[in-house]
Amino acid sequence: MTSSGGPLVAFRGVEKRYSVGGRAAVAGLDLEVARGEFLTLLGPSGSGKTTTLMMLAGFETPSAGDILLDGRSLVDRPPYKRNMGVVFQNYALFPHMSVAGNLAFPLGVRGIKGAAAKARVDAALALVKLDGLGGRRPDALSGGQRQRVALARALIFEPDLVLMDEPLGALDRQLREHLQSEIKRIQRVLGLTILYVTHDQDEALTLSDRVAVFAEGSIQQIGSPAQIYDRPANAFVAGFVGENNLLAGTLVTRQGDECSLRLRGGQMVTATATGTIAPGDDVIAAVRPEHVGTGADRPALCNALDARVDELVYRGDHSRIRVGLEGGGSLLIRAPSAPSVAVAERLPVGWCRDRCFAFPATGVALASTDTGA
């Protein structure tokens, strides 16, 4: 395919409704995927991420808008003419075929047979580190090996784009983390463009060049993993991506991006204002557990509160502390070492203004909330 010089994939005002007048599964989607990019669609179940991928693959038809591949519309192009590799969570391998037969199948559909097909099969098996296993049936392989075969089959015909829909969701944590590294290695070696769907935040942050966070059919924020994690665009993203303390309150003052708010327990804190909020508005303040200081660190922090230790869990490389705030509300703290406090003891806590963000309390329902009440 001849490159147009623009993005490899472009969604232009795409909408998907499964019934006339029903809620849009995807609403007004504008999204571009650059060549060689690893872009992850992240969101909870029903957020529209898989529907977006299925429309790109050709398994679903947009209700409105257009989808472009290398500048050309895909709307009327059947799936088998889109030159995309697809990897699903359930592997979708042919059980009656050997591993080599599964890999050769998409080549045969494209008229590649004989020695040329065998050379590609051997190269694909080497790429996913399954040399010598071409004669086995899928049921003789482990889950991780079957997923490697599915990945090799998606790559063997040299597609323009690889689509992955929760490909590691059925695997245990250790194997999942290992295959994440393998997928990223293969993507870098081959210069692949990958559109990846997951609800696993850690997976999205680990693998991606960019992450698009979906909720209720719309993108809430798109950016690098660091941008998504460190500067969430709204309260939904703050609550869904990673752990966060979400504290409900009322905005009292605002000057530029500096603001003060009164939490529901009556405590006054300062934060970085995000979005359209004004004094008197209901807001959500978000501060990550690792950004909450304790004990001797507190006097140097602009938000200093008194608390009591309610729960203490030692995790080896860090400790998780749940504290109750005087006046009401609670915080989760991630401390780098074992703290010298015990449950029921008093513990001063605090955090910096530039690590705390205040968002409008309206909009998409929060993924998880510590209301501060």
Rounded Cα distance between 202 and 325, Å, is: 29
Average pLDDT over residues 214-243: 95
Q: Is the pLDDT of residue 216 over 50?
A: yes
How buried is 11 (Cβ within 10 angstroms: 0-12 exposed, 13-18 middle, 19+ buried)?
A: buried
The confidence band for 368, taking pLDDT boundaries of 50, 70 and 90, is very low
Hey, what are 367's tokens?
A: 């993924």
- Alpha helix segments (H runs only) across 128-257: 143-155, 173-190, 201-207, 225-230, 235-240
Least confident segment among 17-21, 229-233, 241-245, 367-371: 367-371
Catalogue all structural domains in the chain, each as residue range(s) with its CATH number.
9-230 (3.40.50.300), 235-360 (2.40.50.100)
Rounded Cα distance between 279 and 291, Å, is: 26
Rounded Cα distance between 80 and 71, Å, is: 18
Three-point CA angle 348, 354, 360, nearest 5°: 100
Average pLDDT over residues 223-245: 95
Sheet arrangement for strand 307-314: 307-314, 319-325, 330-335
pLDDT for res 25:
96
pLDDT for res 43:
96
pLDDT for res 372:
41
- Dihedral sign (CA 60, 49, 221, 279): positive
**Mean pLDDT value across the chain:** 90
pLDDT for res 78:
93
The confidence band for 364, taking pLDDT boundaries of 50, 70 and 90, is low
Q: Is the pLDDT of residue 371 over 60?
A: no
Q: Do 302 and 335 touch, CB atoms closer than 8 A?
A: no
Rounded Cα distance between 365 and 370, Å, is: 13
For residue range 308-322, list pLDDT tens digits in order.
Answer: 999 999 888 888 999
The confidence band for 2, taking pLDDT boundaries of 50, 70 and 90, is very low
